Structure 1
Amino acid sequence: MENLKLKDFLDYKYLSGLELSPNKKFGAFVVNSSDYDENKYLSNIWIYNCLSNVYKKLTTMNNEKNFIWLNNDILLFPSTRDEKLKEKIKEGEQWTSYYSININGGEAEEYMRIPMVVSDIQIIAEDKFLITAIYDHYGINLHSLIGDEKTKAIDIIKENKDYEVLDEIPFWSNGEGFTNKKRNRLYLYDKGTNSLTPISKQFENITLCSVRDGVALYISENFTNKKEQTTGLFMYDLYSKEATCVIEDGEYSIDFAEFIGDNIVFCGSLMDKFGINQNCNIYKIENGDIKLLLEHDFGMHNSVGSDCRLSGGKDVRIYNNSIYFVSTESKSSFIKKLSLDGTVEKLTKDNGSVDCFDICDDGILFIGLRGNKLQELYTLKAGIETQMTKFNEIIIETKNIIKPEFIEFINDNNTIEGFILKPVDYDKNKMYPGILNIHGGPKTVYGSVFFHEMQYWANEGYFVFFCNPRGSDGRGDEFADIRGKYGTIDYDDLMKFTDLILEKYPQIDPTRIGVTGGSYGGFMTNWIIGHTDRFKCAASQRSIANWISKFGTTDIGYYFNTDQNQSSPWDNVEKMWWHSPIKYANQAVTPTLFIHSEEDYRCWLAEGLQMFTALKYHGVDARLCLFKGENHELSRSGKPKHRVRRLEEITNWFEKYLK
């Protein structure tokens, strides 16, 4: 077996977007791989035959990231292959071109062109589609212009590229850029007449949920100055062309909705007890009345962290009048089945994460990280999981993969769960450096799933240890609730976990331990260096330094910061300052590397610059590596070369101070 190398993640395959055909005989999914030389990812659609268990590559143009089933044999996927269309898009025209391909063979052919940037699409009838697409209130529509008018409009678009006008919050969004007065709008597209008809209002943001019997179900939020955290639920009758409000906006934060039998079910949170991080319940709407179907104290969705995914897929499904959903409990995510009588059944085992799934009479097909393996496609039949693909099997067969050892302890009557990776070729008679890794969120979890950076560090001779302190997901609302407590009970859990690790493993040199983390983990790294000198070095990634400045500069700051700190800059500013790591930067002595991305609008660059400047000002060794063209997802889905450089920067910093 070979030691895992830093660049080995470039050979991993990343699976996503699983969807079964209407007749449930085939599954389609996307396989992504890295192209280091071109510094991008290659994405193609694959087909899995549910009867023969054979899987094959369907597309080969390396840019097919999503799709829908047109019928049992044909897939539609967006792609820009026509050179003239590419030139039009460069000039500023908005287009989404869909291609069709038969899963039984043949070349892809252009099927239709929609004069919008489509974000979601559903078939409602032959040649008729419901779509959501980006509507820009301040944008210029070139489609209706010709001649000098079009030339002048193109010149205006070029001129406006140097400017951004802001008149609402949030004005930008991580991964999307500036979003001011841009909305995900609902449209009806008729392929036969090539007509596009807006359905929702110009300032409504729409999530299209489902279409049945000529009725569309969608989640809506309508705002012009400040986006709130509640949403409404609506139905639109495609025949009468009338919208009906099912749930008024203002009470629930709705995450999912779907028709079931003659009724509607939805996942929503009232946010009344634990704020914006409160877990969703599942409700049924029957004869206009909202009835609680399941009061759920666990996260709805997979929150088990890994740096070995690129995209997701659907994690809630309706089948045979039951709701199937992914839920995170403890250190794993599971598929659960909820019947309409309120009975809940857990269908999968405590063995990692389920990333997306689909379901039929014969069982469940899902993509997941199971055990120590990278992503693969699995079937679940009669309670038995079977791995059906071997995209990443060579990694498991040829590389040293360290199995995480599970550790738990009690702190303040709470059980804290954690893990440790021993260094490769571990010798109990030797001394080793150690790394504490802190997850983001804070409402996510570490599990035993494959995590490249930590496996790599263990292969480089480090003990790597990580845990789920209070604030993490998977243990219920009360455990996850650290509003107004950042840097207190969570910090205590992490420090006592470190104490336990050093006691349990005397082979770790306590004078050679480092700490790192991203997002919330970056906040905690910044907090740690201002409150203890026990770590020889630190690597703070996409961090939070100042809750006051973050309030006014990031996409979620104006509501996340106030909710999580139970204060605002005008209401107990002293509390926001008390919980800000920058307040304690003058006490820091730990050499610290800062990793930030220029387009990270979640934890903006200004946060890292403040901490970096403070440490330099006080004579502490510090280094900041800024990644241009990257956002908050750098460590997970950043460009391949940038992900390599990021891991090199952190590893070199640890090598400098810990070895």
Structure 2
Amino acid sequence: MSDVKRAVTKEDIFNIQSITDPKWSPDGKGIIFVKTNLEKDKDTYISNLFYYDNTSEQVTQWTYGEQKDIQPIWSPKGDHLAFLSTRNKASQLFVIPLAGGEAKQVTNCTNGVSEFEWSPDGKRIAFQGALKPDESFDRKADEEQEPNETKPEVKVISRMKYKGDGAGILSEEYEQIGIIDLETEEIEHITKPGHDYGLLAWSPDGKCLMYTADEAENKDFSFDSDLVLYDLESKTSKIIETDKGFVTDGEWSPDGKKFAFVFHGQVYKNASHPDILVYDKESEETLNATKDLDFPVGDYMSGDILQGARMPGVQWGNEETFYFPVSEYGNVALYEGNDSGNIKQIWDGQQHIYGFDVRSDKVAATVATSTEPGELYVYELSQQEKQKLTKYHEEWLSQVKISEPEEFVYRSVDSWDVHGWLMKPIEFDETERYPLIYQVHGGPHAMYGNTFFHEMQWLASQGYVVAYINPRGSHSYHQEFVDAVRGDYGGNDYMDVMNGLDHLLEKYEFIDEQRLGLTGGSYGGFMTNWIVGHTDRFKAAVTQRSISNWISFYGVSDIGYYFSEWQIQADLRNIKKLWEHSPLAYVDEIETPLLIIHSEQDLRCPIEQAEQLFIALKRQEKDTEFVRIPEADHNLSRTGKPSLRLERLQHLLRWFEEKL
């Protein structure tokens, strides 16, 4: 093999595989996980289950086909494996015997299954799926039914939450919970029609389920849910008292005495740091185990290579100790804690842990770094040593040139430190000067960090300096920092971005100040629009899936009315404030050539936001183009059709090549 390495190409997305959702077998002899490939010829994604054997140190593929097989969970005895599969269109629950035999489909729910949990005796499975009020789980979907070619359906809308990005116009469906007896295949429906529930965990004694419930009558303004303990014998439920907020994950301690869960409070609306709360079943008290931790529990990393990654919120190691992920300073680390509030970091580093499973003193985890896509690892807690188990990207990495990001920190408004990264072009020559592409992430409560980012590597391979920062509003920093952007869009967050540019130009003399490029998506698209309306320092910019007008966004986005109230802190009774924070109000000042990229099926930031901006710019004969991406939603750059992802990248590069 030649020692000459090549540049990363946009087509290399087909060489990057997504390794996710590791689960120890109950006997500790191996790990099941999911591997997802981008299929170029079929222009889609394919997921299958793979097993790593500790003894042979070999990986075996367990499922095959062109569907998505995801979310594997072992039966308690380890003699069966359950998973979800799209092999019959809607995602259904399948069970495969480990002694041999084909996977058996055990649900046929009209709208599919999204979550499930084994009973402790392995005889039943609780599952979650969407149902209309008049539907039941045992209604068989007619796979042979001819498509309905009658008149288009007229929809009568009576609720504000009537559409969703990636889903379109929503039917009146609610998340429900059922339990299937694997022997009789009978299904017991345990929740009330017309309300939303979220399955969490089955108690170790098999007598109760923990789930969440949103039974509010006015769901348009319901953003909370109750934590519910459901007794399977008496068919009664009990609400576990918490502050206003909602729960996203939880697990019983092995002895069934305590329940640890991830709680999202509403003090700072969607900017609030999640915490780990622990409910003691005997005392009926709930304690906040992470109240003194000023970082968010969970994974808030932005990226473009992971498919279907599922990060556990909390897992018990024994009766007293649990483990949970924390986003901090652009990394995702693993912490250990107990209900007394004693917490400590046990696995850190410049890395992105995006999946884990604990068994005894070992952690199976999927981990990525800024220079290597995710692989499967085992981490020894007692010795604090890790071992890489898979090497799916080893051959590819041996063929391509990778730019290693350099971290930097600078002082911005309020004397706060702001954190960022810079990537040099792969053929870097310190005597040359290079154009810069400056990236702003979405959210705004997300983060850039130490994970592999194909787009960034590709731009560096094309001869650009690439820089990206975490301005105020970004996660992985203190609560005040995350909350500071709310009500101040275009204020000190803008100053953070521009102060970062000043820092880059002062510190890195190889950046050509006359060839500065800017881009970002979602909130990053808003910020791109805002920046070019307030400065002409950038020679070219690309705005993606952006917001230009908060007044119209309020009514057209699937989250518009409440997101605007939470983030801009204004509604339609305060048009003045919505307009003052709208980039469209500053079109007169835009002189930077601006490419607008937007997906036609984006309901998070609907395409009318791009249309308004484009027409306003063209009316004033500004230098602009509008790229409309069909058959794509807000998540194009992460989960869109591979061919359309390549189109987006090509237009991004084309604009900078032409203008810089």
TM-score norm. by structure 2 comes to: 0.91
Q: Distance in 2 between matches of 1:181 and 1:278?
A: 29
Equivalent residues in 2 for 1:268-347, closer than 5 Å: 268-272=263-267, 274-286=268-280, 287-295=283-291, 296-315=293-312, 316-320=314-318, 321-347=320-346
What's 2:262 paired with? 267
Give the 3-state SS of the residue equivalent to 1:609 in structure 2. helix
* Aligned residue number for residue 222 of structure 2: 228
Aligned to 1:509: 512
Helix, strand or coil at the partner of 1:257? strand
| Structure 1 residues not aligned, in runs of 5+ | none
> Residue 495 of structure 1 is aligned with which of 495, 498, 501?
498
Q: Quote the offset at 1:328 in angstroms.
A: 0.5
After superposition, residues 189-268 of structure 1 pair within 5 angstroms as 189-212=180-203, 213=205, 214-223=207-216, 225=218, 226-247=220-241, 251-260=244-253, 261-268=256-263
Match of 2:115 in 1: 120
**How far apart are the structure 2 equivalents of 1:310 and 1:80?**
15
Counterparts of 1:321-400 in structure 2, within 5 Å, are 321-381=320-380, 382-400=383-401
Q: Give yes or no for contact 1:379–1:387 (8 Å, CA) kept in 2.
A: yes
1:189: how far off?
Answer: 1.9
1:498 deviates by: 0.8
What do the CA deviations read for 1:62-92 (whole angstroms, capped 9, x no partner)?
32233322341432234465xxxx6xx7xxx
**Structure 1's 243 and 489: CA in aligned 2 closer, same or farther, altered over 3 A?**
same
Question: Which AA in structure 2 matches 1:281?
Answer: D
Report the Cα distance in structure 2 between the residues aligned to 1:80 and 1:275, rounded to whole angstroms: 35
Structure 2 vs 1, CA of residues 566 and 292 (structure 1 numbering), >3 Å: closer, same or farther?
Answer: same
Structure-1 separation of matches of 2:93 and 2:358: 29
**What is the aligned partner in structure 1 of residue 160 from structure 2?**
169
Matched positions, count: 637
- Match of 1:69? 74
Q: Residue 98 of structure 1 aligns with which residue?
A: 94
Kept in 2, the 8 Å contact 1:185–1:202? The answer is: yes
Question: Residue 85 of structure 2 contacts residue 91 of structure 2 at CA under 8 Å; is this kept in 1?
Answer: no
Query: Alpha-carbon deviation of 1:95?
Result: 8.2
What is the rounded CA distance, in whole Å, between the counterparts of 1:406 and 1:497 in structure 2?
Answer: 12
Equivalent residue of 2:645, what SS? Answer: helix
Give the conservation status (yes or no) of the 8 Å contact 1:331–1:445.
yes
**Shift >6 Å, 4+ stretches:** 138-142
The answer as to whether partners of 1:170 and 1:180 remain within 8 angstroms in 2 is: no
Residues 45-60 of structure 1 mapped to structure 2, 5 A cutoff: 45-60=49-64
Aligned-partner Cα distance in 2 for 1:601–1:74:
40
Query: How many angstroms does 1:397 deviate by?
Result: 1.5
Q: Distance in 2 between matches of 1:431 and 1:301?
A: 39
Cα offset, 1:556, TM superposition: 1.9
Mapped contact 1:165–1:180 kept (Cα < 8 A): no
CA distance in 1 between partners of 2:217 and 2:339 (Å): 38
Matched, 1:129 2:125: yes
- Given the superposition, is the C-alpha separation of residues 144 and 30 from structure 1 closer, same or farther in structure 2, using an over 3 Å criterion? closer
Q: Is residue 108–residue 140 contact of structure 2 (8 Å, CA) maintained in 1?
A: no
CA distance in structure 2 between the partners assigned to 1:21 and 1:419 by the alignment: 38
Q: Structure 1 residues 428 and 115, CA, compared in 2 at 3 Å: closer, same or farther?
A: closer
Give the aligned residue type for 1:535. F
Match of 2:528 in 1: 525
Structure 2: stretches of 5+ with no match in the other structure: none
AA at the equivalent of 2:290: L
CA distance in 2, matches of 1:19, 1:474: 26
| Paired residue type of 1:233 | L
Secondary structure at the aligned position of 1:345 is classed as strand
Deviations 1:87-137 (A, max 9, x none): xx7xxxx783625153x7x55242524334111122224542211111023
Q: Taking structure 1 as reference, are residues 406 and 158 closer, same or farther at Cα in structure 2, changes over 3 Å only?
A: same
Structure 1 residue 256: deviation in Å? 2.7
Counterpart Cα distance in 2 of 1:24 and 1:528:
53
- Give the deviation of 1:473 after TM superposition: 0.9
Moved more, 447-456 or 44-53: 44-53
SS across alignment from 1:604: coil
SS of equivalent to 1:28: strand
Cα separation, partners in 2 of 1:384 and 1:144, compared to 1, 3 Å: closer
Q: What amino acid sits opposite 2:246 in the alignment?
A: S
Instruction: State whether residues 288 and 339 of structure 2, in contact with CA within 8 Å, keep that contact through their aligned partners in structure 1.
Output: no
Q: Counterparts of 1:29-40 in structure 2 under 5 Å? A: 29-40=33-44
Question: 2: distance between equivalents of 1:96 and 1:227?
Answer: 31
Q: Is the 8 A contact 1:167 1:180 kept in 2?
A: no
In 2, Cα distance between the equivalents of 1:552 and 1:490?
25
Question: Cα 1:40–1:496, aligned 2, differ >3 Å: closer, same or farther?
Answer: same
CA-based RMSD of the aligned residues comes to 2.4
Q: Distance in 1 between matches of 2:15 and 2:217?
A: 45
Determine if contact 1:522/1:542 at 8 Å carries over to the other structure: yes
- CA deviation digits over 1:296-328, x for unaligned, max 9? 321111112221211212322122132211110
Conserved 8 A contact 1:138-1:181: no
Q: 1:159 to 1:193 in 2, by over 3 A?
A: farther
From 465, 474, 477, the counterpart of 1:475: 477
* Contact preservation (8 Å) 2:109, 2:138: no
Q: Relative to structure 2, which stretch is displaced further, 136-145 or 446-455?
A: 136-145
Of stretches 200-209 and 219-228 in structure 1, the one that deviates more from structure 2 is: 219-228
| Separation in 2, partners of 1:140, 1:598 | 34
Corresponding residue of 1:642: 644
Q: Relative to structure 1, is the Cα distance of residues 112 and 282 closer, same or farther in structure 2, using a 3 angstrom cutoff?
A: closer
Matches within 5 A, 1:84-95: none
More displaced stretch, 239-248 vs 478-487: 239-248
Asked if the contact 1:18–1:314 (Cα under 8 Å) also holds between the matched residues in 2, the reply is no
Q: Quick one: distance in 1 between partners of 2:136 and 2:195?
A: 19
Q: Deviations over 1:256-306 (max 9, x none)?
A: 33323412233224322x232110222222322333322132111111222
Q: C-alpha separation between the residues in 1 aligned to 2:537 and 2:191? A: 56
Cα gap change, 1:169 to 1:52, in 2 (>3 Å): farther
| Residues 181, 224 of structure 1: 8 Å contact kept | no
Equivalent pair of 1:307/1:451 in contact (CA under 8 Å): yes
1:186 aligns with 2:203: no
Deviations for 1:372-411, whole angstroms, at most 9, x for unmatched residues? 1111011111211221110111232221101111111111
Q: Report the equivalent of 1:411.
A: 412
Distance 1:101 1:640 in 2: 34
Instruction: Give the TM-score normalised by structure 1.
Output: 0.92
Distance 2:29 2:410 in 1: 47
> Is the 1:411–1:493 contact (alpha carbons within 8 Å) kept by the matching residues of 2?
yes
Contact 2:352 2:450 in 1 (8 A): no
Secondary structure in 2 aligned to 1:67?
A: strand
CA distance in 2, matches of 1:480, 1:446: 14
Superposed CA offset, 1:355-378 (max 9, x none): 010011141010011351111011
Identity of aligned residues (%): 30
In structure 2, relative to structure 1, the CA distance for the partners of 1:290 and 1:145 (3 Å cut) is: closer
Please tell me whether the aligned partners of residues 458 and 464 of structure 1 are also in contact (alpha carbons under 8 angstroms): yes
Deviates more, 1:530-539 or 1:501-510: 501-510
Give the secondary-structure state (helix, strand or coil) at the position aligned to 2:249. strand
Instruction: State the distance in 2 between where 1:246 and 1:161 align.
Output: 45
Secondary structure, counterpart of 1:461 in structure 2: coil
